[in-house]
Amino acid sequence: MIEGRCLCGAVRIRAEGLAGTMSACFCANCQRWGGGIQMGLDARGATRVTGPVKIYRATPFSERAWCDTCGSSLWLKDDDGPHEFCPGLFDNAGGAELTHVVYADRKPAGFDFAGVPDRISKADYESNNPFVPEGDMP
């Protein structure tokens, strides 16, 4: 069992397993819902979700879910498919690797992570900005 949670901890996820790979999507819906990019990590086997989950019927064939307390995006799910969880719900993105980009031709021109020259480490960021120690999170 792999466990994940939202930002506030009210929603808890237990998955029998997770895919070893994840996707990023640049379709218009995912860009709006995910704040620019949406990443997905398929569940494998049984899943159990508890907490204040809200569901939005995004299309006639799929739903998107979020935590009603903190607003964390939780999943995208086609009616006949597995939960496609947001990787950030799991420590280290469940160990998955980004292997494919969907709607790649719709990526905003300014999104090029590989070419970003200014990369700031956790230590450097936290030495100059307010932050919450990870151990203090719920």
Q: Where does residue 29 rank: exposed (0-12), middle (13-18), buried (19+ CB within 10 A)?
A: middle
Residues 9-48 touching Zn ion, rule: CB under 5 A, are 10, 25, 27, 30
Cα–Cα distance for residue pair 1/65, rounded to 1 Å: 21
Q: Looking at beta carbons only, is 27 or 46 nearer to Zn ion?
A: 27
Q: Does 67 bind Zn ion (CB under 5 A)?
A: yes
Q: What track of x and - describes contact with Zn ion for positions 70 through 89 (by CB under 5 A)? A: x-------------------
Question: Count of residues binding Zn ion (CB under 5 A)?
Answer: 9
Residues 79-138 touching Zn ion, rule: CB under 5 A, are none
Cα–Cα distance for residue pair 5/69, rounded to 1 Å: 12
Token match 């939202």: residue?
Answer: 6
Q: Looking at beta carbons only, is 17 or 70 nearer to Zn ion?
A: 70
Q: Looking at beta carbons only, is 11 or 15 nearer to Zn ion?
A: 11
Element (H, E) at 33: helix 28-34
Nearest-approach distance from CB 116 to Zn ion, in angstroms: 22
Cβ-contact 103, 30 below 8 angstroms: yes
Among 2, 6, 19, 93, binds Zn ion (CB under 5 A): 6
Cα–Cα distance for residue pair 95/88, rounded to 1 Å: 11
- Binding region for Zn ion (CB under 5 A): 6, 8, 10, 25, 27, 30, 67, 69-70
